[in-house]
Chain A
């Protein structure tokens, strides 16, 4: 993912270094021994990398939604508010909403909700990467 972001227009923004550091943190979190903490950190840093990349990407293309949020970036990318780039389809938006936004919000905002089931969390992390790759292809 780091090579994809470095090879995208986002690499020219002031936030690029911070985004790459978030990816580094995802890898570093693998060393955390307590599994639930490790997964929570991985979700946290992945979501910050994804959110920030989408924010910079939509801003670069003049369609930064207000208020900015993962769900609203996806809507902006579907609705064609970013006139200069292609759009994601409604099916894709729904897929990302269900596979990323919903579980991500639960982990980030719900007290006591700790990711302990490895396959679920790993699937979430991979879906975030897939979403990032899709958006950078627009």
Chain B
């Protein structure tokens, strides 16, 4: 059963004061739950393996982890599994991270679960401290990224779409050959900006995603990569998920941080969604990236210093 059908069926089964939303547009998530149900103070986020996730179930876990960091702690996360052809090994890996797993041809079981709110899955609550740290960091990264992007792309947020020639300003410097990325993006890099870094250009940062996320520079405390292309929002979503998988360990649905790095993501335009112009930036920052344009790459050391100087948390 498709998730659209599950949505319709559950709407009919639940009382009218329950709100059932198909693919909710949540401000901090580029890819969130497939279905959300709220009512009587209870909140359910329903996930179903999407086609790309069937090949790489880690992507579902990353989507789950980011959703759990963004949504209220009491949100019950349910996995709808394909009753026709679920892979048993995959299901075994996924199940421990959800509160409940339900076959996708049983909307009645789902609605009963929502009404009774009885869950006995292995997923643990995300500690509020972890969630608070994620939101705090996201707010700081967003403020900084907005400033940088306004400098890099002055036409950003004007009512008219940004035309291609305005997207990148000309800069003198070395050209790093990276497949599938506009050459002028890399013409922005001043050679001195590379000092002290090990250039790992064109080496895949993520296995199997060579052409999508080439690592520009990497050292122990910093990762600099780039995203570009016609479906930039989708690529940013994937970048966020990959960063989460790389820097956290998921234990019973809770993403525990394992590594702290300064994460810099170079873009050659500012992706703008129709009803939420800042969404891609907000959600990418929520996943842990800061967004920069060519000018900030050209003064990379200063950029990293500004990132390092961000407040680390607390309530002062």
| A interface with B by C-beta (< 8 Å) | 2-9, 11-12, 20, 78-80, 86-92, 94-95, 98, 117-120, 122-123, 125-127, 129-130, 133-134, 136-138
B278 neighbours in A (Cβ, 8 Å): 123, 126-127
* CB proximity of A5 to chain B, nearest CB, Å: 7
Other contacts beyond A11-B38, A90-B315: 14, CB < 8 A: A6-B17, A6-B43, A7-B38, A7-B74, A8-B43, A12-B40, A95-B143, A117-B159, A123-B276, A123-B277, A123-B278, A126-B279, A134-B135, A137-B71
CB pair A6 B315 closer than 8 Å: no
Interface residue? B282 (CB, 8 A): yes
CB pair B19 A6 closer than 8 Å: yes
CB pair A91 B139 closer than 8 Å: yes
Quick one: given A90-B311, A118-B159, A126-B278, are A8 and B72 in contact (CB under 8 Å)? yes
CB pair B44 A7 closer than 8 Å: yes
Q: How far is the CA of A44 from the CA of B311 in the complex (A)?
A: 33
Main secondary structure of the interface of A (DSSP, over half): helix
CB pair A133 B28 closer than 8 Å: yes
Q: How far is the CA of A130 from the CA of B272 in the complex (A)?
A: 16
Which B residues between 261 and 302 are near A, CB-CB below 8 angstroms?
A: 272, 275-279, 282
CB pair B43 A91 closer than 8 Å: no
CB pair B43 A3 closer than 8 Å: yes
* CB proximity of B82 to chain A, nearest CB, Å: 24
What is the interface size of chain B, counting residues whose CB is below 8 A from a CB of the partner?
49
A122 neighbours in B (Cβ, 8 Å): 275-277
Offer 28 A-B interface pairs, CB within 8 angstroms, sorted by A.
Answer: A3-B24, A4-B36, A4-B38, A4-B43, A4-B71, A4-B72, A6-B38, A7-B38, A7-B39, A7-B41, A7-B72, A8-B43, A9-B41, A11-B40, A12-B40, A20-B19, A86-B129, A89-B139, A89-B311, A95-B140, A95-B143, A119-B158, A119-B159, A119-B277, A126-B282, A133-B27, A137-B72, A137-B73
Quick one: given A95-B139, A126-B279, are A7 and B159 in contact (CB under 8 Å)? no
Across the interface, A119 reaches (CB within 8 A) one of B42, B139, B157, namely B157
Q: How far is the CA of A90 from the CA of B28 in the complex (A)?
A: 19
Interface residue? B309 (CB, 8 A): no
Quick one: given A86-B128, A91-B136, A130-B282, are A3 and B27 in contact (CB under 8 Å)? no
Quick one: given A2-B38, A5-B38, are A92 and B28 in contact (CB under 8 Å)? no
Q: How far is the CA of A90 from the CA of B313 in the complex (A)?
A: 8
B28 neighbours in A (Cβ, 8 Å): 130, 133
Quick one: given A119-B157, A126-B279, A129-B27, are A90 and B314 in contact (CB under 8 Å)? yes
Q: How far is the CA of A90 from the CA of B73 in the complex (A)?
A: 21
Q: How far is the CA of A79 from the CA of B314 in the complex (A)?
A: 11
A126 neighbours in B (Cβ, 8 Å): 27, 275-279, 282
A11 neighbours in B (Cβ, 8 Å): 38-41
B39 neighbours in A (Cβ, 8 Å): 6-7, 11
Which chain A residue shows the least CB distance to B71?
A137
B140-156 Cβ-contact flags toward A at 8 Å (1 or 0): 10110000000000000
Q: How far is the CA of A89 from the CA of B71 in the complex (A)?
A: 17
CB pair B316 A90 closer than 8 Å: yes
CB pair B38 A119 closer than 8 Å: no
CB pair A7 B131 closer than 8 Å: no
CB pair A137 B131 closer than 8 Å: yes
Across the interface, A12 reaches (CB within 8 A) one of B26, B41, B43, namely B41
B26 neighbours in A (Cβ, 8 Å): 133
Q: How far is the CA of A117 from the CA of B160 in the complex (A)?
A: 10
* CB proximity of B196 to chain A, nearest CB, Å: 29
B142 neighbours in A (Cβ, 8 Å): 95
Which chain B residue shows the least CB distance to A126?
B276
Interface residue? B18 (CB, 8 A): yes
B132 neighbours in A (Cβ, 8 Å): 86-89
B72 neighbours in A (Cβ, 8 Å): 4, 7-8, 136-137
Q: How far is the CA of A67 from the CA of B36 in the complex (A)?
A: 35
Q: How far is the CA of A125 from the CA of B315 in the complex (A)?
A: 26
CB pair A6 B18 closer than 8 Å: yes
Interface residue? B10 (CB, 8 A): no
